Amino acid sequence: MYSSDKLDKIRTWLSPSDPSTNLHKARRQRYQGTGQWFLESHEYAKWKKERNSFLWLNGIPGCGKTVLSSSVVADLEQSVSSLSLLYFYFDFNDATKQSTDDALRSLIDQLYNQRTELQKEVDALFSSCKNGRRQPESASLFKTFRSLLQQAGETWIVLDALDECHKRNDGLTGGLLPWIRGLRDASLNVHLLVTSRPEQDIRSSIESWSQVGEVISLQNGRTSNDINAYIKAQTAEMSRWEDRPDIREKIESELSQKANGMFRWVSCQIDVLRECLAPKSVFRELNNLPPTLDATYARILQNIRPEHMDCAKRLLQFLAYSERPLRIEEAVDALAVDPDCQPRFDPRNRMPDAEEVARYCSSLVVLVRQEDHRSGTMIVEIQLAHFSVQEYLVSARVHESMAADLEKTNAKAEIVRVCLSYLIDNASRDTLQETEGTPLANFAAQYWSTYAVDVELSRKEVLSEVDEYFSSEVAFQFGHDLCDTDNQWGRQDEIQRWGPGRRHAPTALYFASFVGLFHSVQMLLDKGADIDAESGPYGNALQAASSRGHREVVQLLLDKGANINAQGGYYRNALQAASFRGHREVVQLLLDKGADINAQGGYYSNALQAASYGGDREVVQLLLDKGADVNAQGGDYGNALQAASHEGHREIVQLLLDNGADVNAQGGLFGNALQAASYGGDREVVQLLLDKGADVNAQGGLFGNALQAASSWGHREIIQLLLDNGADVNAWGGV
């Protein structure tokens, strides 16, 4: 049995999103009996029974695909082993549910927690990622999940809303559609059901390899009975027309005839009809039913009451461009901010009934209740009601009443103004313990700069609130402490190695350089900011900008006189920071401006070792071409070859050897490259080093020799390879 601490550590490392929140939301939207036609169909029965089966349910926006997929999950929960059921919902509302990696992390987590006999596979991935100090690459997630499925046996997988996934067709294994095809082509006993709109890329991919009967369109009248039943049930709940069957029949008839297979369209019309208090208003609405979802959303915006318009705009700006759903208390405080008044935020301006915030936008938003697994409490989120709503709001088709306010740059500028106004006015509450009384503070601190980057790129100017925030030491420190940007966007293992107590407090210039606020950097420099001030874990503004690859900011700092070879921070200098991260343009710029290519210091000692560890072959080649010493000693890995070998970067190992790297050079944590590679677990790198003359019994380093390094993690293939090449099974050494 695994301890709860181990399970928690793996989950924290994987950081899987929780698909059950989408499942519960969809189930609450499901009307009893709908979808039964599919659950009782021949196609579904065949899918559940046949080995290695596949189904694609596709349909127009709003036809009920997600609700139908939730019915499938509910049926499988009753008819198959819960240990063999996996599901995931891609979600436009949540940035943590929009990529193939997000899906893989969640599915792997489900298997890890459901099947104890499969945990060793995930543990091996964890150990190969330096015991969780780095995140797995996409290829590793693909490989691990396939291996888990091979061991798991018969498995049912439901993936909803493929069209809400980004990079669906990115390379052979780097995208969703190639991965789905790979699952189908593999010799696995997997029953895979997916849903989506019939987008061209999805259709062309699936139809190129699917078989007859595996593609089901929901646009051919299959859902008509479900929609009619839903309409009848909703009309029956309009109690004011209990004695007017003619009105009920008229509503049912008109909606049924014009639904065109869209549950979403029907739902929006019913919301409007519920507000009709007299027969004339009912008939007026029925005579003017909007023909499409776009027209429906335009009518909703047009009908917002004038006194509600400002709040509706603010709410839709946040929801249309937010990285995650807003908690209801966050939304309430966002509406209470007025950047043009003093004070800009007054708690007395909060709505007395938080849940009434949804009334500003009618059918465009929904309130979603779910349990916070960390605290065990119930939280309420406000979200856009449907993917089609988000698409409409950010399109050029949006109604003129909100077109200017919802334009991308304008909307993001307003979000920045609201967030910073909130932080500035609440900065006097300078202890994090008091942020329970300022629920928007964490969102504001974490995301304002992301929006501000887009605004500055578009407008070529600094918002007055950004200037004020950076000018206020109290406000800036309050916001920075809340989001801790270096931990949020840096490598956690870097921050841990750098350690508390060795960091200088971040300056506004450092922060602006790190996040890429070009015009803010320019403004701060013009105001006299110390360009080389020691600041943050990356030492100074130039190293911070270099670590993030902000070429224009790096250029600006250099033009303004930043010391290109300034020492300090985790990487010791800007070139090493850019080299580690693989920012080729920044590396080239720094070299062109005179950066010392062989400058020593820091965890990786020099730029070549940092680049070799980071894994960008082109940066390694660039450094070698510019005269980097291939055998320079120093740092935790001793030399570049050992760093690349430890990380399993085969092409870089070959490149370094071709450029004269000493295969048996001693030094560093692992003593030599072969021991580092044996510990890292890449068999091909170990073979390459042996072929190039690595001493299989070389002594030194943490584990004494390569065989003990491989044995420490149970890398059986490498152990056998070393023994086959003469490793001394009785050799002593190590700590």
Q: Are 514 and 545 in contact (CB under 8 A)?
A: yes
CA distance 282 to 280: 5
pLDDT of residue 371: 77
- The C-alpha atoms of residue 441 and residue 334 are separated, in whole angstroms, by 10
Cα–Cα distance, 93 to 363 (Å, whole number): 16
How far apart CA 55 and CA 60 sit, in angstroms, is 17
Per-residue pLDDT tens digits for 559-572: 999 999 999 998 99
pLDDT attached to residue 500: 38
Which whole number is the average pLDDT over 334-345? 95
The single residue listed with the structure tokens 């200098």 is 573
- Domains of the chain, residue spans: 4-217, 224-289, 308-469, 483-682
Average pLDDT over residues 264-281: 95
Listed range (188-202, 330-344, 425-439, 679-693) with the worst mean pLDDT: 425-439
**How does the average pLDDT of the chain come out, rounded?**
91
Q: Which distant-in-sequence residues (6+ apart) come within 8 Å of 581 by Cβ?
A: 546, 547, 548, 549, 614
Tell me the C-alpha distance between 624 and 264, whole Å: 59
- Kindly report, residue by residue over 165-174, the tens digit of the pLDDT: 987 876 545 5
Dihedral (Cα; 699, 700, 701, 703), 10-degree rounding: 50
What's CA 250's distance to the chain center, in Å? 47
Q: Which helix (H) or strand (E) holds 272?
A: helix 263-274
Model pLDDT, residue 600: 94
Radius of gyration of the chain (CA): 29
Candidates 3.40.50.300, 3.40.640.10, 2.40.128.640, 1.10.357.10; correct CATH number of 4-217?
3.40.50.300
Amino acid 431: pLDDT: 43
- Give the pLDDT confidence score for residue 632 in this predicted structure: 96
Judged against a pLDDT cut of 70, whether residue 495 lies above it is answered with: no
User: Which pLDDT does position 183 carry in this prediction?
Assistant: 87
Can you list the alpha helix ranges (DSSP code H) found in 499-639? Answer: 508-515, 518-526, 541-548, 551-559, 574-581, 584-592, 607-614, 617-625
Question: Which pTM does this prediction carry?
Answer: 0.87
pLDDT classification of 320: cutoffs 50, 70, 90: very high
Q: Name all contacts of 244-250 with Cβ < 8 Å and 24+ positions apart.
A: 244/279, 247/279, 247/282, 250/282, 250/283, 250/286
SS (H, E, C) 51-83: CCCEEEEECCCCCCHHHHHHHHHHHHHHHCCHH
In sequence order, what are the beta bridge partners of 157?
86, 192
Q: Average pLDDT in the 647-659 region?
A: 96
Lowest mean pLDDT among 118-122, 253-257, 358-362: 118-122
The more confident residue out of 467 and 505 is 467
Q: For residue 283, what is the enclosing H or E element?
A: helix 279-287
Q: What percent of the chain has pLDDT over 90?
A: 78
pLDDT for 3 equals 59
Pairwise CA distance, residues 672 & 645, whole Å: 9
Cis peptide before 343 (omega within 30 of 0): yes
DSSP letters for 242-263: TT-HHHHHHHHHHHHHH-TT-H
Cα separations in angstroms, 732 against 679, 702, 725, 727: 17, 12, 18, 12
286, 315 contact by CB (below 8 A): no
Q: Are 696 and 667 in contact (CB under 8 A)?
A: no
User: In the predicted model, is pLDDT for residue 436 greater than 70?
Assistant: no
Can you tell me the distance from the alpha carbon of 602 to that of 579, in angstroms, rounded to the nearest whole number? 13
Q: Give the tens place of pLDDT for each residue, 373-412.
A: 666 788 999 999 999 999 999 999 999 999 999 999 999 9
- Name the DSSP letter for residue 15: -
Q: How far is the C-alpha of 523 from the C-alpha of 519, rounded, in Å?
A: 6
In this predicted structure, the answer to whether residue 333 has a pLDDT above a threshold of 50 is: yes
d(CA 323, CA 334): 15
The yes or no reply on domain 483-682 and CATH 2.70.180.20 is: no
The pLDDT of residue 361 is: 93
Give the count of beta carbons closer than 10 Å to the beta carbon of residue 288.
Answer: 8
> pLDDT band at 709, cuts 50/70/90?
very high
Let me know if 687 is exposed, middle or buried by CB neighbors in 10 A (0-12, 13-18, 19+): middle
Label residue 104 by pLDDT band (50, 70, 90).
very high
Contact 564, 574 (CB under 8 A): yes
Tell me the one-letter amino acid at 441.
A
What is the predicted pLDDT for the residue at 291?
95
Give the pair of three-digit tokens for residue 89. 């919902």
